[in-house]
């Protein structure tokens, strides 16, 4: 993997291997861990612009930052109404963030029906209006989108150009259509055609689970970098492999994740979340089913730590 720094407005990432947003997973502790393991940039999960305008408590929790986070702080917001998106971008809650990413790829029906997420790909003028308004907040704006809604109607290159024209500083392209959700092959050619059509950095996303996958995605698309989602959820140490960062002791890193998660979030959330994360991390191990069952019986930090102490990474 050819590592390089990426310019996002006046900011320079430390490398071009990014952690993509994952709703329910990329909280501040997880982002910190991935950054420490080598990720060049991390994003919060998608946060509703309307939720921000109405000051919902849920939304605020998604925007927590760990005090020691040393990287560029990027938040992802979603919404289909330019005025709300700008208000959200200018809100006090987003003040600590350096970069604002706009979600134009979310396939979930509830979001789509509201004209948000991937629905914006079917309405380029509105998508541009959203970006133009958010740019007025004065921060570098990035956009994450897909190659189209269906394979019959691919819009990648036009959409990429439209985002650049509207003022986006970087785009991330998930090389699948909305109807495929997260499965099926990634369309390298579509990402390549968008990359050739714009002057802003293009990050390719989809199907990176190993160094070989990342190198193929880069080679086939000519992209400036890659964004990794599910691989990080199952194995955050993938960032060591992708960036050549020496792999630290896995148990110690996960132990720290447990400690920080319990200190940043309430006990109920932290218990459920860490049970789930550990069950991802042990996937494929010989004893996996038995340990998973044990994990799901855990009801405290101590019990989760006890299971961790018996895992052979
Ligand atoms: C559980 C889950 C939650 C996701 N949440 C978001 C999100 O909040 N914002 C976003 O732009 N994409 C989201 N995605 C999409 C990923 O960022 C990524 O585009 C997709 O998973 C393809 O990358 P991958 O093949 O590396 O997983 C989510 C994906 C999954 C599986």
From the candidates 34, 106, 240, 298, give the one annotated as an active-site residue. Answer: 106
Same domain, 238 and 259: no
What's the Cα-to-Cα distance from 150 to each of 113, 126, 192, 300, rounded to whole Å? 16, 19, 18, 45
**What gap in Å lies between CA 288 and CA 2, rounded to an integer?**
35
Tell me, using a 6 A CB cutoff, whether residue 208 lines ligand 1.
Answer: yes
Q: Which residues of the chain have pLDDT under 50?
A: none
189-217 tens-digit pLDDT: 999 999 999 999 999 999 999 999 999 99
Tell me, using a 6 A CB cutoff, whether residue 45 lines ligand 1.
Answer: yes
β 11-12/7-8 pair status: antiparallel
Same domain, 178 and 236: yes
**Residue 1 placed within a domain:** no
Give the pLDDT score at 55. 77
CA of 265 to the centre of ligand 1 (A): 22
Same domain, 173 and 230: yes
CA of 303 to the centre of ligand 1 (A): 30
Residue whose CB lies within 8 A of the most ligand 1 atoms, among 58, 110, 182, for a mutation test: 182
Same domain, 206 and 227: yes
Give the pLDDT score at 58. 81
Same domain, 299 and 165: no
**Residue 75 placed within a domain:** yes
Q: Which residues contact 269 (CB under 8 A, 6 or more apart)?
A: none
CB 226 within 8 A of CB 204: yes
**What gap in Å lies between CA 120 and CA 126, rounded to an integer?**
7
SS3 147: strand
Bin 153: left if φ > 0, else alpha if -120 < ψ < 50, else beta: beta
Give the pLDDT score at 270. 98
Tell me, using a 6 A CB cutoff, whether residue 21 lines ligand 1.
Answer: yes
Tell me which residue range forms the domain holding 289. 250-309
Last residue of a domain, one of 243, 274, 295: 243
Same domain, 73 and 116: yes
Give the pLDDT score at 70. 87
Tell me, using a 6 A CB cutoff, whether residue 26 lines ligand 1.
Answer: no
Which DSSP category does 263 fall into? H
Same domain, 293 and 207: no
Query: Of 35, 32, 29, 58, which Cα lies nearest the Cα of 46?
Result: 58
**Residue 293 placed within a domain:** yes
Q: CATH number of the domain at 199, please.
A: 3.20.20.70
Token readout for 72 is 């560029």
**Residue 2 placed within a domain:** no
Q: Which residues contact 223 (CB under 8 A, 6 or more apart)?
A: 173, 191, 195, 202, 203, 204, 217
Give the pLDDT score at 59. 86
Last residue of a domain, one of 243, 261, 280: 243
Same domain, 94 and 231: yes
Same domain, 224 and 263: no
User: Does the annotation mark 106 as catalytic?
Assistant: yes
Residue identifier of the C-alpha nearest atom 31 of ligand 1 = 230
Tell me, using a 6 A CB cutoff, whether residue 108 lines ligand 1.
Answer: no
Instruction: Give the position of tokens 């960032």.
Output: 239
Q: For the chain, what is the domain count?
A: 2
Same domain, 126 and 165: yes
253-292 tens-digit pLDDT: 999 999 999 999 999 999 999 999 999 999 999 999 999 9
């Amino acid at each position: 993997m050819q590592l390089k720094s990426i310019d996002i407005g006046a900011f320079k990432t430390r490398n071009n291997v990014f952690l993509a947003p994952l709703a329910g997973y990329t909280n501040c502790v997880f982002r910190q861990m991935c950054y420490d393991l080598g990720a060049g940039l991390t994003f919060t999960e998608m946060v509703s612009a309307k939720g921000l305008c109405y000051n919902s408590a849920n939304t605020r929790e998604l925007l927590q930052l760990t005090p020691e986070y040393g990287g560029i702080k990027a938040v992802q917001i979603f919404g289909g109404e330019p005025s709300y998106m700008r208000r959200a971008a200018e809100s006090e809650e987003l003040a600590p963030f350096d970069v604002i990413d706009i979600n134009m790829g979310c396939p979930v029906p509830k979001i789509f029906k509201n004209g948000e997420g991937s629905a914006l790909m079917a309405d380029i003028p509105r998508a541009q209006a959203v970006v133009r308004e958010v740019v007025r907040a004065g921060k570098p704006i990035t956009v994450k989108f897909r190659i189209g809604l269906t394979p019959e109607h691919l819009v990648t290159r036009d959409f990429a150009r439209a985002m650049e024209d509207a003022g986006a500083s970087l785009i991330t392209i998930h090389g699948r259509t909305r109807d495929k959700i997260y499965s099926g092959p990634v369309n390298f050619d579509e990402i390549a055609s968008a990359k050739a059509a714009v002057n802003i950095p293009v990050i390719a996303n989809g199907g990176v689970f190993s160094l070989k996958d990342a190198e193929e995605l880069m080679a086939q698309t000519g992209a400036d970098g890659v964004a990794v989602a599910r691989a990080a959820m199952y194995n955050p140490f993938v960032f060591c492999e992708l960036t050549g960062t020496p792999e630290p002791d896995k148990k110690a890193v996960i132990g720290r994740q447990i400690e920080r998660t319990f200190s940043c979030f309430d006990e109920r959330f932290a218990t459920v979340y860490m049970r789930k994360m550990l069950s991802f991390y042990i996937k494929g191990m010989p004893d996996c089913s038995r340990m998973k069952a044990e994990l799901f019986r855990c009801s405290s930090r101590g019990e989760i730590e006890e299971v961790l102490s018996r895992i052979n990474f």
